[in-house]
Structure 1
């Protein structure tokens, strides 16, 4: 069987313009139109054509390169440099410009704030196009590794352990020096010990500096001082907690963030308010999983008139509640006491920082109870803690159980978890390239903006999106 062979030397009639190679419905045209429609002054990017000095690469072309690259999982500055030489879509997008990897990396590094703000402008575009409503918002978070090794993460315990090792080593060096000096042995050995002692002193000063920068109970990575320390099935790693807030209508992202906290408990109010700021209006409903179930955080949004749909930790727990679980104890508002399943009263005994402790009135009551040893094993009797805002927690739990709330909560996985599934699975993003929180936020801005553009193309079609963005610009 004969093969088909190519011929590089064959003459042909090719279009004279590179634009003729890019179809009218090619997705790259949507990315081009999107960046052209951005307000660069609001982004803080100067477009002065008359500035003094050697000509720079067009800021618009550089931003197009980053937004388009991140949308397809091409984030490395070296890979982006390769694309503008060999990939027709990239060549068309930047108009044939050939920035090297250093130029690309420097542009990204010096425009972190602008890259983060691109998402906000994409949300405003979606609002004008009727693709975002802002009525119901869904929150989700995921851990993304930072550009730093966990080996460079220090905790209070590690610092104290290292200080003890240094002290022991210094004592050993001093003792060895005294022995050599007494024996009048070779000067070379003493010089080597002096150098080692100096090395340990430098390390000791460094550990003291790290200790000074440690927050109570926290950690500090010497490579990226703003990243957090997370644990997962793959072990511990340094990184950031990526946050997104998604609109219900079409699953478009309205805000994104990167924080160092390892859990989502303190993020609910902060992230909802950031989303509302981007939308320019207050939402009606905010929904998240039990990872956000901090009553203090939920109350901040609840008292603004927003319906909060978040299960409490006990509602999310799959274990069957025992007969003497706290939920089996009834609170009597008038008497300010808890009534146990056996009808005995637990009265207020002490106040903690955020809780009030209720204990059985007479300890003998518990000791004589037939369920002693099952309900409690304490000789002081059964104790129940009540949050200062327990009534808020109970009301939110009841609100979560409503049928209308359950209908909304069922949409959460579909809406809130899709963006991170796309970013991690489809784009292969497992770690940030830029260091520092500002760098992580900039990359989150690019990744989420790219997600929104792809969704907009799906909803409107490429050619229509290009047209409406051209009209908006």
Structure 2
């Protein structure tokens, strides 16, 4: 037990070490006042990440698009967008994605307090700012990518494309399968009909039955609740049927193309498949986030989104991103190549990647045809050798046999000495980026709901990842300060 020393030299009385203690300790007084007004700038280390984020926002980024959204705003003066953007970037770069946690950090964390100018925006303002400015993120991402290129961090030698699953902000318990939705709609329609009949009787009752503050013609709470559930069920049913039709059409079109059928025949086959498509009974929809889909993640089957990214080899800079509701990657190759070209153009980078590395999840006849028309060398893993491939597995730099298919040509390219050397780098380029973003930035679980929210948040994570790479290179002297 500590004893109170009634005579403390130069300070208010406080706890002291037990009598006879052999060690002398530094003075400690929780009630000590500052002799001069404190400065948060003195408390923040010169190499702190918060200072780097502040410099990027103040000196590098063009925030014209951010400020433009406030021109017609009314009401009380909002928080300065520079401050809010700094907090958002610093929070995501350090793995703080909760608006409530950011508000707490603004009171307790030196980096957050310094960035906010000793203010503490409430979590609603932070959340609204994040959602409000999702549409300007592509422009900010392009600016950061341009800075990375100017710093020599983008070489476009080898580029890898891959996908990863992001857990959606949706509860498994707020979902229903197609075979339960259909009978539930019938049940709710019957209940709504009964409640409407009862509501008509209630409307005719005398006013005193409803209380002084009620008109007497309000919809009963039970009816409103059931009507809301019925609307959600109908929307989920229609979405499941639409998705089944689109999936059937895409599959039919892919089969037609692989057989070399004409475009008109492929379109006709897709239309017939869509018209005859029937949803699987166990297909589910979530009512918390109806746009999320059940996907297999590292934690089992969860409601999730499929996030895509192309990554440059030398410094693992993310070149482009997208998010899709499709669990498989096969339909994302062409959109991501287009997205990558657009992202490089927006950043003022006039080059194209020399080699693009893609895993077997993207392999299809359509994608192989698209790859053969690209200016870059594209290596798409074809999986194991198929029984109808006409050349042996160990063929290397020899000539292809006559009449080789696109799949056989790609398999041959992967088995050459250069192809093996290039493709061996795929995992080392893109997969560490996903690991870093999910571990350091808490990117594996989304905060925003809906496909547009998921796309914006994933792009925000990619932007912050590139900022961290830029800071690391600057500190290491690789990039100019």
TM-score, scaled relative to structure 2: 0.69
Q: Is structure 2 residue 176 aligned with structure 1 residue 114? A: no
2:40 is aligned with 1:40: no
The answer to whether 1:459 aligns with 2:473 is yes
1:326 aligns with 2:348: no
SS at match of 1:327: coil
What residue in structure 2 maps to residue 181 of structure 1? Answer: none
Q: What is the CA distance between 1:73 and its match in structure 2?
A: 0.7
Which among 395, 398, 410 is matched to residue 424 of structure 2?
410
Alpha-carbon distance in structure 2 between the residues aligned to 1:435 and 1:394: 42
| Aligned match of 2:306 | 241
SS of the residue corresponding to residue 150 of structure 1 reads coil
Tell me which residue corresponds to 2:377. Answer: 307
Q: For residues 240 and 445 of structure 1, what CA distance do their matches in structure 2 show?
A: 13
1:225 aligns to 2:290 (yes or no) = yes
Q: 1:138 to 1:201 in 2, by over 3 A?
A: closer
Residue pair 1:30, 1:457 contacting (<8 A) in 2 also = yes
Are 1:59 and 2:81 counterparts?
A: yes
Q: TM-score, normalised to structure 1's length?
A: 0.71
CA–CA separation in structure 1 for the residues paired with 2:405 and 2:31: 81
State the Cα distance separating 1:106 from its structure 2 match: 1.0
Is 2:454 aligned against 1:440? yes
CA distance in 1, matches of 2:141, 2:228: 45
For the residues of structure 2 that align with 1:16 and 1:202, how far apart are their CA atoms? 55
Q: d(CA) in 2 for partners of 1:464 and 1:232?
A: 36
2:126 to 76, 95, 104: 104
CA distance in 1, matches of 2:449, 2:362: 26
Q: How far apart in 2 are the matches of 1:57 and 1:196?
A: 41
Q: Deviations over 1:224-257 (max 9, x none)?
A: 2322221346443211111111011211111122
> Which residue of structure 2 aligns with residue 82 of structure 1?
104
Contact 2:172–2:303, Cα closer than 8 Å, also in 1: yes
Q: CA deviation at 1:10?
A: 3.4
CA gap 1:203/1:453 in 2 versus in 1, 3 angstroms = closer
Report the CA distance between 1:155 and its aligned residue.
4.5
CA–CA distance in structure 2, aligned partners of residues 103 and 5 of structure 1: 42
* Kept after mapping to 1: 8 A contact 2:311/2:320: yes
Offset at residue 57 of structure 1 (A)? 0.6
Aligned equivalents of 1:456, 1:293: Cα separation in 2: 33
Match of 1:347 in 2: none
Cα distance in 1 for partners of 2:324, 2:474 equals 33
Inter-CA distance 449–202: structure 2 relative to 1 (3 Å threshold): closer
Aligned-partner SS, 1:267: helix
- Who is 1:212 aligned against? 238
Distance change in 2, residues 1:237/1:119 (3 Å): same
Contact 2:160–2:358 (8 Å) recurs in 1? yes
Runs of at least 5 residues in structure 1 that lack an aligned partner in the other structure: 174-194, 316-320, 331-388, 469-473
Give, in angstroms, the shift of residue 205 of structure 1. Answer: 6.3
CA distance in 1, matches of 2:478, 2:72: 35
Tell me the C-alpha RMSD between the 2 structures: 3.4
SS in 2 for 1:90: helix
Supply the distance in 2 between the matched residues of 1:298 and 1:90 (Cα, whole angstroms): 48
**What is the aligned residue count?**
376
- Measured in 2, the distance between the counterparts of 1:197 and 1:64 equals 46
C-alpha deviation, 1:440, in angstroms: 1.0
How far is the alpha carbon of 1:397 from its aligned partner? 1.5
Q: Give yes or no for contact 1:276–1:283 (8 Å, CA) kept in 2.
A: no
C-alpha distance 238-288 of structure 1, shift in aligned 2 (>3 A) = same
Question: Separation in 2 of the partners of 1:434 and 1:12?
Answer: 42
CA distance in 2, matches of 1:233, 1:244: 18
Corresponding residue SS for 1:6: coil
Following superposition, the deviation at residue 13 of structure 1 comes to: 5.1
Report what 1:399 is aligned to.
413
Partners in 2 of 1:150 and 1:245 — Cα distance? Answer: 30
Summarize the Cα distance change of 1:14–1:285 in structure 2 as closer, same or farther, 3 Å threshold.
Answer: farther
Alignment deviations for residues 107-131 of structure 1 (CA, whole Å, 9 cap, x no partner): 1121111234432221111112221
Residue by residue over 1:181-227, the C-alpha shift from the partner in whole angstroms, topping out at 9 and shown as x without a partner, is: xxxxxxxxxxxxxx999998986665344322322146543322322
- How far is the alpha carbon of 1:272 from its aligned partner? 1.9
Partner Cα distance (1:406, 1:219) in 2: 41
Distance 1:283 1:233 in 2: 31
Using a 3 Å threshold, how does the CA distance of structure 1 residues 98 and 233 change in structure 2: closer, same or farther? closer
Take 2:325 and 2:73, find their aligned partners in 1: how far apart are those partners? 39
Secondary structure in structure 1 of the residue aligned to 2:305: strand
- 5+ residue gaps, structure 2: 1-20, 195-220, 245-278, 393-402
Q: 2:254 maps to what in 1?
A: none
